[in-house]
Amino acid sequence: MLQSISIKEWGLKEKKILLRELGFTTDSTFIFTGDGKKVIDKYIDIPVEINNMLILPGSTIIIDNNPLSIASFLEEYPNAL
């Protein structure tokens, strides 16, 4: 069963480990892919900030935590949340 864990209260250190293990880096504000590109929320075209990221399984989708991105994600993956 797909479960959720809130990372809202995680410290920066834990978030950095999480991102590192998933193949990303961070400058403590933004997130970068392995080849140094800023991670952009594909639904609303804004850079995702570490303090407001949602990390969703599948092909490791990182999006901004806002209703428009979530609605767009659910439109693409109706049962994924």
Partner 1 sequence: MPSEGIIDGADIAKGSLEYGEEKIKDFIKQFQDGNLRFIQDKETIDLVKEQRKSNEYALYKKYIKKPELAILAQIGLTLRKLDEQNRTIELQGLRNKIRHKYDHAGLRIAEFVQAHLLTELMTNLLKKEVSQSELSLQVEVFLNNLDRNSCFLQNTHTAEKKAEEIIARIQSQQPDIFIVFSRKSAVPIGKEVAHLLKRKIKEKELNFELECKEEKTSMVIFIKKLPFDIV
**From CA 23, how far away is CA 76, in angstroms rounded?**
24
**From CA 56, how far away is CA 67, in angstroms rounded?**
15
Phi-psi region of 36 (alpha: psi -120 to 50; beta: other; left: phi over 0): left
* Closer of 25 and 70 to partner 1 (Cβ): 70
* Closer of 32 and 65 to partner 1 (Cβ): 65
Judged by CB under 8 A, the chain residues 11 through 50 that form the site for partner 1 are 11, 14, 17-18, 21-22, 43-46
User: Would you tell me how many other CB atoms lie within 10 Å of the CB of residue 50?
Assistant: 21
5 binds partner 1 (CB under 8 A): yes
Q: Which residues bind partner 1 (CB under 8 A)?
A: 1-11, 14, 17-18, 21-22, 43-46, 52-58, 65-72, 74-76, 81
